[in-house]
Amino acid sequence: MWFKNSRVYQLSSPLSLDQSSLEQALAEFRFTPCTGQQQSSLGFSFPFESAQSYCYQNQQYLFFAVKRQEKLLPAAVVQDEMQPRLQALEAEKGRALSRKEKDSIKEEVTFELLPRAFSKTQLVLACYDQSKHRIMIHTSSSSRAEEVLALLRKAIGSLPALPWLDPYRLSNCLQFWLQSKQLPASFQLGHEVELKAPDEEGAKVRFSNHLLTTDEVQSHLQDKQVTRLELQQEEGLSLKVCDDGSLKSIRYHDSISSKNDELGWEDAEARLAADSLLMASTLSMALDQVAQAVIEVE
């Protein structure tokens, strides 16, 4: 439930549906497992099993989740099954098969193997902040995030969402932040950075567990651009801001992650409500500070 990575999107206008209407809209596109010959399936699922709802509301935050199931059918397995058939058909026809004929056999083999293939299931959690009109998606993958947005758009009709940070301003900010200039409020430099040269060769350098203010690190700003930078709060969270706007390796200080431990898990619903609110509010506050620093860049 605690977001470790995130793709964030800003809505130009708030969602027009209330929690009840959104619940109904998501339920219409609920997840169903793959059928025998179906290679993949996508749909909304319960973000939290104990909540038993497709849209879980906790104060200003709405949580929902998208589940994807894929049949795992390795190319080598398909090829092994195809080979005897290809050889037999070539011997029968007395010639090499055309690409169209090979593709036809591949489709036939895939169709036959799918019912026996193993399935891989992935759940992507998302949180909509109604006061900020912002969607936080628990993934670092742009394709997975766009998949969530596309399904949500399909369910509710429209979704005017754009990445939360301007890429040009963010790029400049990353350069400044590495120099300890104009850092977001309450944040300081962490101990990890990645830089890349903007030319065709794109030389890269990465420092980990390193003091980033040293000349050894700072000298790379002369010919490289920061592509990932760790920022941290003293007793808040630490995260790596990437030049595409994604957030990776989000870690919560013990003073935050253990704040609700006294509640225990006897009342799972109460603990879920406390933890989800704590996580969302902590992350949202950090996003506000980062976004404000990007807006104010000179």
Clarify whether residues 131 and 216 are in a common domain.
no
Clarify whether residues 103 and 127 are in a common domain.
no
What pLDDT, on the 0 to 100 scale, is given for residue 298?
A: 63
Say how many Å lie between the first and final Cα of the chain, rounded. 36
What pLDDT, on the 0 to 100 scale, is given for residue 163?
A: 94
pTM of the predicted protein model:
0.87
Domain closes at, from 135, 163, 191: 163
| Residues in the chain where the model's pLDDT stays below 70 | 298
Domain range for 97 is: 75-115
| Domain-embedded: residue 2 | no
| Domain-embedded: residue 171 | yes
Element at 126 (helix H, strand E): strand 118-129
Clarify whether residues 220 and 201 are in a common domain.
yes
Domains identified in the chain, total number: 3
3-state secondary structure 42-85: EEEECCCCCCCCCCEEECCEEEEEEEEEEEECCHHHHHHHHHHH
What pLDDT, on the 0 to 100 scale, is given for residue 288?
A: 96
What pLDDT, on the 0 to 100 scale, is given for residue 91?
A: 87
| Domain-embedded: residue 1 | no
